[in-house]
Structure 1
Amino acid sequence: MNALTPASKINLLDFKSVPMRTFHLTWITFFLCFFGWFGIAPLMPVVREDLGLTKGQIGNIIIASVAITIFARLLFGWLCDKIGPRISYSALLLLGSLPVMFIGFSNSYESFLLFRLAIGVIGASFVITQYHTSVMFAPNVVGTANATAAGWGNMGGGVTLIVMPLVFGAFIGMGYLDATAWRYSMVVPGLALFIMGFVYYFFTQDTPAGNLADLRKNDPNYQAKTKSSESFWTICKDYRVWGLFLAYGACFGIEITIDNIATLYFVDNFHLGLKEAGIIAGLFGMMNIFARALGGIFGDKAGKKFGLKGRIVILSAFLLLEGLGLMLFSAIEVLPLAIAAMLGFALFLKMSNGATYSVVPFINKRAIGMVSGIVGAGGNVGAVLAGFLFKSEGLSYRESLFIIGVAVVAVSVISFLLSLPKETVEVQNAELQPAYEKVNA
C-alpha cells in the first residue's frame, strides 16, 4: 500500500498509517459526539421534574435536538470540500462542546430548548465521519470502512444511555441534589469533546497525501481536478436520491428518536428507575457494534450478485421488518418481551442504516458527496417528523411508535419501487461492472 494513496485493506491493529489512524480517531470522535448530542436524553426524567416540563415541551425539545442538524450536515459537508475534514471536525468539536457544558445554566424551558437546539449541531459529525473515511480508503473497502466507522460511532448512542445515569449517580453520591447533579453531569461529555477537538486537529490529516491547504498550494489545479462534475440541482432532480432520503429518515431518523425517548418510555410505561431504564435503553444503541456493518455487508453481497437492484431490495426488506417490529414493540406491555421486541426491530433498523449507505455510492458516482449529504439530512428530517408525534398531547408514546411503524412499512414499499425501472438499473450495472471485476481480480 502506497502511503500517499487510499488504503486498499482494513487492518484494525494498524495505528500508524494515516488511513488507519484516521479511521480509529474518526470513529472514536463520532462515538464521543453521541455523548454530547444525546447525553441529556437519559437524564430527561430528572430534568422534567426540575424544570416542570410538559409532554408538549419535551416533544419540542426532541425536535430541536435533531432539527438544526439538517442544516448543519449540509453546511459541514460543504466545509469538508472547502477546508477539509480535519479543520471542519476540530471546529465542530470545539464549538459544539460549549452548549453541552453550558446547558446546565438552563433555568427555564425556553433556555433549555435553546441549548438543546445548539447541541444538535454536533449531529453534523456523521457527514464529516463518512467524508473522511471515504477519502482514506480505496473503492474495494470503502463501504466496509464507512459502515464500520459509522456503526461503532453510533454505538455511542447506546453507551451514553447507560453511562450518563451512572455519571449522574456519581454526583449524587458526592452529595449533590438531583437538580445540581444533572447539570454537572453534562460537563463531562462537553469536556471530552473539547479535548478531542485538539486531538483531531493534531493527529489526523485531510487525505492520505496530505492536508487540502498544502495540496492546493503545491498543485494549483488540485481544486479543479477534485471538483464534482455534477451540480447540486442535477442531483436534486434524481428521484432515487429522494427515495433514499425517505429510507434514511425511516431508519436513522427513528434511531435518534428512540435514543431521545427510550429512557422516558421505560420509566413511564414500566415504572423503572433511571439507571435500570438507561441500561435497557442503552441496549438499543449497543446493537451498532455489529448491526450497521452487517447491513452494509448484506448490501455488498446482494450487489455483487444482483447489481444495484439487489442492494435496493435488501434495503427494502430490512425497512419492512423494522416497521413490523416497531408496531409489535408498541403493543407489548410485559417488560422482558418488550426488551426482546426492541432488540428485534433495532437489528433491522441499524441494518437498514448500513444498507442505505451501501446504495448511496452507486446512485451517482460523480457526486457521491452531495448524494451522501442529502440522504444524511433525510435522517434528521425523519426524526423531526417523528418528534411531532411525541409532542402531541392526544397521542401516547405507544400510539406514536405504532404510527411510526406503519410509516416505515410504507417507506419500505417506496424504496422497493426504486428497483423497478429496468433500463436505469441496467445502465448503472454496466457502469459498475468494471469496478467489480477490478476488485475481484
Structure 2
Amino acid sequence: MKTNDTNKATRINLFSFAAPHMRTFHLSWISFFLCFFGWFGVAPLMAVIREELNLTQSQIGNTIIASVAITVIARIFIGRFCDKFGPRLTYTTLLIVGSLPVIGVGLSNSYESFLLFRLMIGVIGASFVITQYHTSVMFADNVVGTANATTAGWGNMGGGATQVIMPLIFAGFVFLGFEDGAAWRWAMVVPGVAMIGLGILYYNFTTDTLEGNFSDLEVDSVAEFEGEEEDEADVSLKDVMKDYRVWSLFVIYGASFGIELTINNIAAIYYYDYFSLDLKTAGLIAGSFGLMNLFARSMGGYFGDKFGIKYGLSGRVKFLFVMLLLEGLALMLFASMGTLGLAIGTMIFFSLCVQMAEGATFSVVPFINRKAVGAVSGIVGAGGNAGAVMAGFLFKYESISYPDALFLIGCVVTVVSFLAFTIRFSMGDEKEARHELEVAMNETDGELEPAYAD
C-alpha cells in the first residue's frame, strides 16, 4: 500500500484487505451498506404493510418523513462523537444499538407504532458520517474524494439492494407458510441480525487512526494525532457552524442525497401504482436506481479528484455545480415520462447524475476544515436528510400526484445547483492543498500529472 509522509494511502487497492487503510475501507462500506439496507428495509414492502395497517397516503408520507427526520440530528452529533471517541467505537455502538429498532419494527400493530419505529430506525442513517470520517483519515488528498465516494456509494447500494432482496426474503417466509402480515415482520429480523455481526467485526478489525485507537493514543480529535497542538485542534461544533460554506454544502447535499433518499422511499410504490406492476417487478426496477451506486457515486468522487488535481479546490466546486444542474434537469425529465420504458431509462440517467453529485460533494467536504472533519461531515450529511424531510412533505397530500411532486423537486434542485458558486477557498487553502497533493502524487511514482502550474 503506497502512503505519503503522513502515512495516508495514496492509492486504493480494491482487492486488498490490508490494515489499516483497506480494511477500514471495506468494513466501513459494508457496515454502511447494512445500515442502509435496514434503514429502508420496509420501503419495498409498503404495499403489503399499507394493506395490513390500513395506511392512507398522508400516513405513508408521514412515515417517509419520520424515516429520515431524526437522522438530521443524529448526523450532526455523530461527527463530533467521531472527533471525541473515535470512529471505531462510534460505529460499533451505532450498529449494535441501531439493530434493535430494525428488528423491533415487526412489533408494529398500528400506524402510530409503525411511525415510531420508522423514526427510531432513522438514527442508523448517521452511519454515513462515520464512513466518510474514517476514510478521510485513511486516504491522502489525491484519492480522498474517490475513497469517500466509493465507500458511500457502495454503502448506498443497500438502498437499491433492499428493493430487490427484501421482497425475496418476504417471499421466502411466505413459502415457509407464514401469512403476509407475519412474513414482512420476520423479514426485518435478517438485516438487524447482520448489523450486530458487523458491529462486532468493526470493533475487532479496525483502528481509529493510522497509529492506533484514540484510547491508546490518548487523543481527542483527528487533528491532534496529525500533529496539531491541543488548543488548535479543539475546534468546537459552534465554530464549524459559523462557516457559511458548510451550510451551502448542507443545502446542496439536501438537493442530492436527500432526493436519493426520497426516491428510495417511493420508487417501488410509484411503479406499483402508476405502472400497474406487481410487488417483485416494481421492487426490481426501483432497485436499479440504488444499485447505480456500484459505480456512479465513485465516478463523482473520482472526477472531483481529477478536477482538483488540474484546477485546484475551485475545480472540485465547479464539477459539483455541473452534476447538480444535470441532476435537476434529469429529475424533471423522469417525472414527465408516462411510459414504462422511458421512465426506467430517464430514472437511470437521473440516478447517475444524483449519485455523481453526492460523490462530488464529499470530494469538497474534507477541505472545508481539516481540524474538524467529523463535525463538517456531520452537518453536511445531515443536510441530505433535511432535504429528504422537506421533499417528503410533498408526498403527504392527496392533491399532489407523485409525478407532480417529483417535477417540482427537480425545479428546486436546478435552482440550488447555483449555490455551489458560494463555496470559495482562500489562497492559503489552495496553497496548502497544492502542497499536500503534490506530496501525495510524488508517492505514486509519477503516475499523475503535476497538480498545479505556478
Match of residue 296 from structure 1: 301
What displacement does 1:417 show? 4.5
Are 1:269 and 2:274 matched, yes or no?
yes
Establish whether residue 135 from structure 1 lines up as the match of residue 140 from structure 2: no
Q: Choose from 197, 200, 206 the match for 2:199.
A: 197
Q: What aligned pairs does 1:239-250 form with structure 2 within 5 A after superposition? A: 239-250=244-255
Q: 1:3 to 1:181 in 2, by over 3 A?
A: farther
Deviations 1:249-300 (A, max 9, x none): 0000000111111101000100111100000000000110111110111112
Matches within 5 A, 1:243-392: 243-392=248-397
Name the TM-score, length of structure 1 as normaliser: 0.94
CA deviation after TM superposition for structure 1 residue 243, in Å? 1.2
Structure 1 residue aligned with 2:185: 183
1:145-187 deviation line (CA, Å, top 9, x unaligned) = 2111111111111111100001011111112111111111111
Q: Tell me what 1:435 maps to.
A: 436
Matched residue, 1:396: 401
1:136 to partner: Cα distance: 2.1
**Superposition deviation, residue 210 in structure 1:** 1.3
CA contact (8 A) 2:143 2:305 kept: no
- Which residue number corresponds to residue 19 of structure 1? 21
For residues 50 and 227 of structure 1, what CA distance do their matches in structure 2 show?
Answer: 56
2:332–2:411 Cα contact (<8 Å) kept? yes
Q: Which stretch shifts more, 320-329 or 136-145? A: 136-145
When residues 322 and 285 of structure 1 are mapped into structure 2, their CA distance, relative to the original with a 3 A threshold, is: same
Q: Which residue number in structure 2 is paired with residue 59 of structure 1? A: 61
Deviation at 1:225, TM superposition (A): 4.1
Please report how far the alpha carbon of residue 3 of structure 1 lies from its aligned counterpart in structure 2 after TM superposition. Answer: 12
Provide the aligned length of Structure 1 versus Structure 2. Answer: 437
Secondary structure of residue in 2 paired with 1:67:
helix
Q: 11-20 or 345-354, which moves further after superposition?
A: 11-20
Cα displacement (A) at 1:373: 1.5
Q: What secondary structure, in the 3-state scheme, does the structure 2 residue paired with 1:42 have?
A: helix
Q: 1:221 to 1:45 in 2, by over 3 A?
A: closer
Secondary structure, aligned partner of 2:369: coil
Q: CA deviation at 1:229?
A: 5.2
On the 8 A contact 1:3/1:209 being kept in 2, the answer is no
TM-score where L is the length of structure 2:
0.91
Structure 1 residues 2 and 238: alpha-carbon distance in aligned structure 2, compared to 1, 3 A threshold: closer
Question: C-alpha distance in 2, partners of 1:224/1:88?
Answer: 24
Question: Which amino acid in structure 2 is aligned with residue 21 of structure 1?
Answer: R
Q: What amino acid sits opposite 2:433 in the alignment?
A: L
Q: How does 1:23-38 map to 2 (within 5 A)?
A: 23-38=25-40
Superposed displacement of residue 13, structure 1? 2.2
Unaligned 5+ residue runs, structure 2? Answer: 443-454
Secondary structure in structure 2 of the residue aligned to 1:358: coil
CA contact (8 A) 1:216 1:223 kept: no
Shift of residue 426 of structure 1?
4.2
**Which residue identity lines up with residue 244 of structure 1 in the other structure?**
L
State which of 97, 100, 109 in structure 2 corresponds to 1:98. Answer: 100
Give how far 1:2 is off: 9.3
Aligned twin of 1:238: 243
**Aligned counterparts of 2:4 and 2:341: Cα–Cα separation in 1:** 52
| Deviation for aligned residue 1:67 | 0.5
Q: 1: CA distance between counterparts of 2:5 and 2:22?
A: 11
Change (3 A) 1:153 1:228: same
Hey, what's the Cα distance between the residues in 1 that align with 2:321 and 2:228?
Answer: 38
Seen in structure 2, the aligned counterparts of structure 1 residues 226 and 439 have a Cα distance that, compared at 3 Å, is farther
Letter in 2 for 1:411: V
Please tell me the root mean square deviation across aligned C-alpha atoms, in Å.
Answer: 2.3
Shift of the 20–175 alpha-carbon distance from structure 1 to 2, 3 Å rule, reads: same
| Aligned residues of 1:4 and 1:209 also touching (Cα < 8 A) | no
Q: Work out whether residues 4 and 439 of structure 2, in 8 Å CA contact, stay in contact via their aligned partners in 1.
A: no
Other-structure match for 2:127: 125
SS in 2 for 1:277: helix
Correspondences of 1:198-237 after superposition (within 5 Å): 198-216=200-218, 225=230, 228=233, 230-237=235-242
Tell me which protein shows more helix as a share of its residues.
1
